[in-house]
Structure 1
Amino acid sequence: MNQANQRAGITMDEAEIAGFLRDARKLQLGTINPDGTPHMVTMFYGLRDGKITFWTYGKAQKTRNLGRDPRVTCLIEAGDDYFELRGVMIYGTARLIDDPSDVLGVGMDVTRRMTGMTAPEADVEPLREYVAHTGRKRVAFVVEPSRVVSWDHRKLSGANVGR
């Protein structure tokens, strides 16, 4: 199998990508420093209408970077062994959310993921006051995707070798 066919064979479809993003908890966020070097951080994230959201302090380096250049790369990955590797990389633009109620909404979504309370019946309301308190100095972003790349090595023909 040539490399192009193999690449196509491990790509996730839209439903697989949506499920992977729903079930994961953290992402690696790449922004661009003033000198052009990448600034990489690991963050918990939320989802709004299938799009990545995150929040951070208004004075954080990533916030300053996004104020200059809103381009981002988000990497969500899983797996320890080669034939278990899965991932989604989203290239896009981070759009600022600064309305306090929307920032709180993103903060609550991130808190659900941080605490593992993502089930619809999970009650994170007792955390609302704490999230609102920490949110006073935060801003939020939604990632508007321009390109999505995915892979699932479990689809490779050798994935079941030795199992």
Structure 2
Amino acid sequence: MDDTQRRGRRIMMTPEEVDAFLRTQRTCRVATVSPDGRPHVGALWFAWDGRSLWLYSITRSRRWADLRKDPRISVVVDAGESYDELRGVELSGTAAFVGEAPRTGEPCPELDEVERLFPQKNFGLPQMPHDGRHAWLRLTPESIVTWDFRKL
């Protein structure tokens, strides 16, 4: 094993650290691929339920259109200012569209937990406000890469 591999293993987050990090962070960067092959990256708030990352996206956005044509997605959640504070998680996989689009609040048991988590975390509200412009994307990661430079 070379030094790079050793260092990579040393700075990896444990599953418990990943879970705690994703439950407390608010903003992620979402990368999609346009039909012409150009990447697109934008920031969004998210919720993590312990298995999947949930994104509440505007349905008339470039992100939404990109994912309708090519559901491959990568998301980065990171924190830290100085080099020795940097930590983050990159989640990649296939986006799934869940519930009606745009979301108006029709009953959807699959959204019960995220619609409890998301408004509490991001708005301090007990229930989800629906504006008829957003809808849910779920990323159940196929790969997760982590780093925590505080471990160096």
TM-score by length of 1: 0.80
- Percent identity between matched residues is 25
* Gaps in structure 2 of 5+ consecutive residues: 101-105
Structure number, greater radius of gyration: 1
Aligned length, in residue pairs: 144
Deviation by residue 1:68-92 (Cα, 9 ceiling, x = unmatched):
1111001000000000000000011
- For structure 1, the 5+ residue unaligned runs are 118-123, 157-163
Task: Report the alpha carbon displacement of residue 137 of structure 1 after superposing the two structures with TM.
Answer: 2.8
| Partner in structure 2 of residue 147 of structure 1 | 143
The 5 A counterparts of 1:1-163 are 2-99=3-100, 100-102=106-108, 106=114, 109-115=117-123, 117=124, 124-125=125-126, 128=128, 131-132=129-130, 134=131, 136-156=132-152
1:49 and 1:6, CA in 2 relative to 1: closer, same or farther beyond 3 A?
closer
Q: CA deviation at 1:105?
A: 6.1
Deviations 1:11-62 (A, max 9, x none): 0110010111011111000111121111111100012343100111222111
Q: What value does the CA root-mean-square deviation take over the aligned residues?
A: 2.0
Say which SS state the counterpart of residue 150 (structure 1) adopts: strand
